[in-house]
Chains A and B, each alone.
Chain A
Amino acid sequence: MYSEKVMDHFMHPRNIGEIPDADGIGMEGNPVCGDVMKIYIKVKDDRIVDAKFQTFGCGAAIAVSSMVTEIVKSKTLDEALSISKATIANELDGLPPEKMHCSNLGADALKNAIVDYKSRHAQ
């Protein structure tokens, strides 16, 4: 059902947890439908220096969260904003079609975290 890479990130997820003094927090999804992702980022000089996640959801959702927090580290905010659902799915060697819509929320949660950082920063 899942690629080896998905299973690896599901069985051994990277970057689990909260960042208590996060610079931005983004959430996406709805437990009623399926998956919910919460992403915390730490930003320094417009660059993401740390990212962690908390996820309620299926194997794909957890693997997506793990992958997005991995690839976003040391990226500039603009680079991070260009990460798409397809980028993450490709990095995971693909996702089952029915999981593309509901479980692939990592890019959206990340975007929300960056928006949150920017709104805090603007003040």
Chain B
Amino acid sequence: MKICYFDHVATNPLYPDVFEAMVPYFKDEFGNPLSIYELGTRAKDAIEKSREKVASLINAKAREIIFTSSGAEANNFAMRGIALARQNEGNHIIVSRAEHHSILNSARFLEKNGFVVTYLPIDKYGIVDPERVKKSITKETTLISVIHGSSEVGTIEPIREIAQIAKEREVIVHTDAVATAGNIPLNVKELGVDLLSMTAHQFYGPKGAAALYVREGLRIVPLIYGGIQEGGRRAETENVPAIIGMGKAAELAKAEMSFRMEHSGRLRDRMIEGMKRIDNVYLTGHPAERLPGHASFCVEYIEGESMLLLLAAKGIYAASGSACTSKALKASPVLLAMGIPAALAQGSIVFSLGRENTDDDIDYLLEEFPQVVQRLREMSPYAKGWGDKKAEVECV
């Protein structure tokens, strides 16, 4: 069966060249980078080369990159590490309603531990208004964290404007760039951010390697205490193969950046154009300020998980922010924060494209998807409209 993988926000396949670069470090080059003999120093050198490549992808200095095990860890580290490092200066933190759970749940942890958190609203496109950021800053504010690009709705946030406002008020800015790093050009100096999270498996690298950029001179409290790895800021016996893979993936992402953006952007535009032909399907997120490979919709009168299952039966893999799809049985908070009615949010479907997708994939999707929608609408009690549904009632 033909497989169309449209779930690059979930994870990416490992690029073959990346795998090849990793292989020696699973085999002969197994040394601990802290060991003083050559087996160890070779591993250490390889890690440092990888650090340079990762730094180069976002125009940072190598010493500004701290390797972590995941994007979630990088986000936890940024939130807790800066909140604690600056707690003598203030206890107020600002995040947006567009954030990933790893930021939101870190914020909730900090709230339980005496910090005050402001959750910035987002508009119907999922965008944070920099003016709202400005108004939310108090004398107590130490950290602002706003996502760079949303994996749920594809919207790219005005981080540069937000960072500029923060800088004027001497507030530290973190951005979660897990969905954007390696997929669109990133320059930490131009963006003006102090911290940035990224993860390798979002740009054809392996799982288990990620990084937090920490601007030179900025103090951060470790999340993991132990040895002197990563300048004493993050202890572990390094996951050498994964870190090597991340470096290689960063190098390839930089070299292929314009090709990847053009390719997935063009396919995405074809997909969005084709979807417009189906009645009552709405694009979610910003129409222009969005990730090149990201097309997300709400399909009225049907539910996301059943769409995913019917698509999967045809070899098409996608994602949904519906309540039934999430194990927590809650609709995507980002969709709800954008003001999308909860019943419509149930029809969420997210397609995210990558370098290996083809025009044939788009043709196949555009042929199959209308049938999936029709089939589910035929069995929906709402096929003729919502009627007097209780859809706006809060779910208990």
Are A and B a genuine interacting pair, yes or no? yes
Name the interface residues of A28-69: CB closer than 8 Å to any CB of B: 30-38, 53-62
Asked if A31 and B382 sit within 8 Å, CB to CB, the answer is yes
B313 within 8 A of A: yes
Interface: A94 (CB within 8 A): no
Q: Does B302 contact A (CB under 8 A)?
A: yes
Whether the Cβ atoms of B389 and A31 lie closer than 8 Å is yes
Contact A35 B324 (CB under 8 A): yes
Residue B65 at the A interface, CB < 8 A?
no
Given contacts A32-B394, A34-B324, A54-B379, contact A59 B309 (CB under 8 A): yes
Cross-interface CB contact of A32 among B301, B302, B313, B390, cutoff 8 Å: B390
Residues of A within 8 A of B322 (CB): 34, 58
What is the CA–CA distance of A58 and B386 in the complex, to the nearest angstrom? 17
Q: Which residue of B302, B313, B342, B394 is within 8 Å of A56 (Cβ)?
A: B302
List, in ascending order, chain A residues with CB within 8 A of B327's CB: 98
* Residue on B nearest A36 in the bound complex, by CB: B381
A62: chain B residues within 8 A (beta carbon): 306, 379
CA distance A17 to B313 in the complex (A): 23
Partner of A102, one of B324, B380, B394: B324
Q: How far is the CB of B187 from chain A (nearest CB, A)?
A: 42
Q: How many A-B contacts are there with CB distance less than 8 Å?
A: 88
- Give which listed residue, A30, A34, A98, contacts B303 with CB less than 8 A: A34
Are A16 and B378 neighbours in the complex by a CB distance under 8 Å?
A: yes
Q: Is B28 an interface residue (CB 8 A)?
A: no
B343 proximity list for chain A (CB < 8 A): 31-32
B309: chain A residues within 8 A (beta carbon): 7, 10, 59
The residues in B between 195 and 212 inclusive whose CB is less than 8 angstroms from any CB of A are none
Q: Which residues of B contact A16 (CB under 8 A)?
A: 378-379
Q: Which residues of A contact B382 (CB under 8 A)?
A: 31, 36, 56
Report the minimum CB–CB distance from A100 to chain B (whole Å): 11
Interface membership of A104, Cβ < 8 A = no
With an 8 A cutoff between CB atoms, is B319 at the interface?
Answer: no
Count of A interface residues, CB-CB < 8 Å? 29
Whether B390 pairs with A30 at a CB distance below 8 angstroms is yes
In this complex, the member of B302, B310, B343, B383 whose beta carbon has the largest number of chain A beta carbons within 10 angstroms is: B343
Question: Is A112 among interface residues, defined by CB-CB distance under 8 A?
Answer: no
B301-333 residues with Cβ-Cβ distance < 8 A to A are 301-306, 309-310, 313, 322-325, 327, 329
- Contact, CB under 8 Å: A34 / B346: yes
Chain A interface mostly: mixed
Kindly state whether residue B392 has any CB partner on chain A within 8 Å.
yes
Docked CA distance A17–B396 (Å) = 29
Q: Which of B327, B378, B395, B396 has the most CB of A within 10 A?
A: B395
Task: Tell me if B395 and A30 are in contact (CB < 8 A).
Answer: yes
With A31-B346, A33-B323, A102-B329 as contacts: A10 and B306 at CB distance below 8 Å: yes
Known contacts A31-B346, A34-B324, A38-B381; decide if A59 and B305 are in contact (CB<8 Å).
Answer: yes
Complex Cα gap A54–B394 (Å): 23
| Residues from chain A with Cβ under 8 Å of B224 in the complex | none
| Residue interface bits B357-396, CB-to-A below 8 A is 1, else 0 | 0000000000000000000001111110010011111111
Given the contacts A59-B305, A59-B306, A32 and B395 also touching, CB distance less than 8 Å: yes
Residue of B nearest to A27 (CB): B381
Query: Chain A residues near B323 (CB, 8 Å)?
Result: 33-34, 102
Give chain A nearest CB distance to B390 CB in angstroms: 5
Interchain CA distance A17-B375 in the complex, whole Å: 12
A55 vs B393: C-alpha distance when bound (angstroms): 19
Chain A residue, CB-CB nearest to B386: A31
Q: What are 30 A-B pairs at a CB distance below 8 A?
A: A10-B306, A10-B309, A11-B313, A17-B378, A30-B391, A30-B393, A31-B343, A31-B382, A32-B346, A32-B394, A33-B396, A34-B322, A34-B324, A34-B346, A36-B381, A37-B381, A54-B380, A54-B381, A54-B383, A56-B301, A56-B302, A56-B346, A56-B381, A57-B324, A58-B325, A59-B305, A59-B306, A62-B306, A62-B379, A102-B323
Interface residues of A (CB under 8 A from B): 7, 10-11, 13, 16-17, 27, 30-38, 53-62, 98, 102-103
